[in-house]
Structure formats: structure tokens, C-alpha cells
Structure 1
Amino acid sequence: MLLSDQAGQTAATKIPRPATLRESVIEAIQELIVSGQLKPGQHLVESELAELLGVSRQPVREALQQLSGEGWVDLHPGQGAFVHVPTVEEADQLLAVRALLETESARLAALHAGEDGVRRLRALCARGIAAVESDDVEAAVATNSELHAVVTALSGNQVLAELASQVARRVRWYHTPVARRRGMDSWQEHTALIDAIEAGDEDRAAQIMREHTEHTRASYMEQRGSQPVEPAPKPVRRRRPRTSPTD
């Protein structure tokens, strides 16, 4: 039987391929945005990004086009690219979806985590606390993201894990500005969550995660209220000068 005949009967194993240069540039720019090195509303100059990332301008241009379609970058004709300024409504909606996904993740993790899973969570929590104590915001945010990802993985629900991963990077973007404000409170909540997961108390784990994600959402909204982000300037249409009629 030919391979083409078998295609409809069994799914072939896909050969993983290395990331293209454009994909690597996209990920690098996203990370610069998430970490706050590129600020909301900041003008993105292709030549500067190319020099920073050690690539030519072409993959940067292609990356900015794709990031525009995904809501990370705004393209203004005549003015260039700017880091997207998330609206309060956008943040509220995404953090609400995150709360739903992670509350269910915590509930299921309490049923399926096991001793090894709890040990992984304890180790991450210790790293996060150490990062807060040393005022290493970047490490605290990264560890927070990793801990939440592990909770979701321990849920045992692959679809839930995939959905949560789709919003995880944008959640980091919203969490970074309030990480210092949340400080040790966030990690005390993580500790209580892990205790509930270890005890197999699914209702308690879900409640703690629901309240934990709500605290992050409220902190972000408060931060935006006290320090509103200015949107990128709108493009200015330049009128062509009128030519005087000749005699």
C-alpha cells in the first residue's frame, strides 16, 4: 500500500522543525514587551530592533506584521510600529478568562498532583519567595508563570493546559507591572494553594486560586487607574500643498 493511500487511515508522526528566523524574532520581541523593556506605546524602529537582536531588518519587518495581527503591536501608516497599549477592557476580559481556566486547573490538580507534583510546586514557591526577598521582579514574574503552568499541567487535562498556555504570556505582560505591588502576598497565596493541593482539597484549592487571580486583576486595574498609559500618537495626514494655477 502506498503512503498516500495510508494517509487517510493513520496519522503520520510529524517531524519537528527548527524555528524560523522570523519565529525567533517574534518570540524575542514578545519577550521584550512582556518583560517591560519595550513599553506600551513605545515606537518600534526596525533598524534599532534589528541591531538589538543581531538580525537584518527583513525578519523584524515580518515579525512586526505578524505581531500586529496578534495584538502585540499597532501599525500606524506614515508613523510606523508601536507597542500595543492594552485597554482596561482587554485586560479585564483576559484576566477573567485566566481566572476561569486556572480555578479549574487548581481543582483538578488537587485530585491528581501526587507527591512529586507537590514537591515541584514547593520548590518553585521557594524560588519565588527568594526572588521577592531580593527584589528580583523579573525572576519573580518568571517563577510565578512557571508555577501556574505546573499547576495547570498537574490538572491532567491536556485541553485545559493548551488553552491556559495561549493566554499565559499575555498574563505575564499584565502581571509584570504589579508584581512588586503584590509582593509577598502573592507567594503566601501560592503557599496556601499548594497546601490545599497537597491535602487533596479540591474545593479549597479552587477557591484560593479564584481569589488569587482576582487579586492580580484588581491590582492591575488599580495600577492602570493611578498610572494610565498614554496611547501611541495617531498618524497625521499630511496634505499636499496646492499648486498655484499658471497664467
Structure 2
Amino acid sequence: MPKIVVLDTRTQRWRSESSLTKPSGLMDWEALCDVQQELIGQESIIMVSAAPVFGVKLIETIQRIFTFFGQALTVDAENWMAHKGTASVMLNIFRNRKTPPNFVILSGDVHYSFVYDISLRFRQNSPHITQITSSGIKNEFPEKLLNWFDTLNRVLYSKYSPLNWFTQRRNMRIQHRKPEGHKVRTLLNSAGIGVLEIDKKCEQVCAKQLCASGEEITFECHKDIKSVHQE
């Protein structure tokens, strides 16, 4: 069975050294080094992170703009990419050739759900990373606003968009799994509980959302992925 690693993003923060008004890193350098040591030699890993490691790029950009004007708290700019040092160390963990070939990241802390498949560009034996982000049991995002964010994110950060090269994830390929019943949309706005289905090596990973409305929505499994939105 895969090893489970739970990240402490509350008590091991990496504060900004340039300004106290800027977001801190969710984990500091020493803590992330300890995490990497736990991963070395493992065949597969389930990593639990309060916030998604790979967030929605458009929303992270909006948070960065608010942070620039000293309004980080207005948009709750606590994400892995908000602190350059933390982001760099975390991404290097996935790039390290000694870390596991299969990762599953379980996360939440946002009011919508999505599933990403991530791999490294320009590397033949890239690890496969699946991130499953589940909405809260009660909270949902404003529907019209999320529709706009979803559409703009797909347009502005499409597969060949030059904007991708201004992000720290420029060397990673991200595929968005579409929720069942949605031909284009990639973000699911429905409060509920996420359900994970995996094999022993985390090679086949499927995810569902049990919605508060009683509906059960499945995100595309690996074998079903033929045409997905990519960054």
C-alpha cells in the first residue's frame, strides 16, 4: 500500500523576509527537506495537503495582484505558489529523480472541486502526479463568478499560452479532468465529500464528489482521458 504523508502547513510556515504583509510559505525549507527524506525510496505516495499544491492559475494570479497592492488577506492569498522559496522547494521535490514515480495529492481549503494529472515536461521517465481537490461540505463558490474564472483560466492558460511561462510551473504539464456531464468545464461548484479510488501502486486513480444535493459526480479516470484541457 502507498505511504501516507500529511503536510503540516499551519505550524511550520516560511515567513516572507521582504515584508510582513506578504504571504508566508505554507512550509519552511527545513520542514520540506524532512518531507523529501520521507519520500525517497517509496514506490507510491499519498500526500495530504490542506491547500492544493497545484491551484487554478488564474485565481493565483488574481491573489498575486491583490498581494502586490497589500491586500493579501482580502483574497486569502495562502497558496503554495504565493511564496517563491516554498514553491521552488516543493516543485523540486517532484523533479527529484529519487522521489516516487506515483503521487496522489489530497487537498481542499477552496470552495470548489477539481482533479489534475501532472507530469514533467522534457523528461522521459516523469513521475505521475494526481491531485484531487474537494470542496468543503457546506461552502460553495459564487456560481457566476466561478464560471467566469473557469472560462478565463482555460483561455488564458491553455496548452500553448505564453502566459504559462510566467508561472513557476512552466516545466510541468497539467491535464484537467472534466466532471461527469461537463463537456468543457473543469471546476465543479458543489459542496460535498470527495471519494478516492486507487490501486495498490497508485497507478489507476479515480475520483468522485458526493454532493450535498445527493448527486454523485465522477471525474474522468485515466483510462477515460482522451481529450482534456491542458496547461
Give the shorter-chain TM-score range.
Answer: under 0.3
Higher relative contact order (CA 8 A, sep 6+): 1
- TM (norm. structure 2) is 0.27
Give the number of the structure whose residues are more often helix, by fraction. Answer: 1
* Larger Rg over CA atoms: 1
- TM (norm. structure 1) is 0.26
Give the number of the structure whose residues are more often strand, by fraction. Answer: 2
